[in-house]
Amino acid sequence: MIRSIRPRRKRDSTIALINVVFLMLIFFLIAGTVATPLDPDLNLVDTSELEGREPPDALVLHQDGALSFRGTPTDPETYMAERDPGPVRIVPDRDAPGTRLIEVTGALRRLGAVSVFVVTEKALE
């Protein structure tokens, strides 16, 4: 009697995939515990209800390159003459020219501003 040769079964390739996924899971579990956890009694500040607007003590650089302080048009010389030297905050319009922003921040530094902070909006998507 002739024996029929049984076709050899191929190994299932999903075993290797399961191993890789398992190793990734272990890696992310370990990597996630590296950071120190926050104090459980800590309640973070909720800023979702805050109205977005510029700080009241900040210069505003408009789209056309004009400066204003508290709604009044101004220039760097006038602004720095009316205040003590110290840090200055400037809120540029999204479409304000970058060269004008660099020009204004340089002028503020030359006129005595210790530092110039550019206030921006951080978009969370």
Host domain of residue 66: 59-118
Specify if 65 maps to a domain: yes
Two structure tokens written together for 38: 């926050």
Q: Output the CA–CA distances (angstroms, integers) from residue 59 to 63, 81, 124, in the order listed.
A: 13, 14, 25
Specify if 7 maps to a domain: no
Give the count of domains, the chain.
Answer: 1
Specify if 71 maps to a domain: yes
Mean pLDDT of 13-34: 85
Q: In the predicted model, what is the mean pLDDT of the chain?
A: 78
At residue 68, what is the residue type?
S
How far apart CA 112 and CA 106 sit, in angstroms, is 10
Specify if 98 maps to a domain: yes
35, pLDDT greater than 80: no
Mean pLDDT of 19-28: 92
pLDDT reported for residue 24? 94
Q: Report the percentage of the chain scoring pLDDT > 70.
A: 73
How far apart CA 58 and CA 21 sit, in angstroms, is 51
Specify if 8 maps to a domain: no
Specify if 54 maps to a domain: no
Mean pLDDT of 95-102: 87
Task: Confirm whether pTM is higher than 0.95.
Answer: no
Specify if 91 maps to a domain: yes
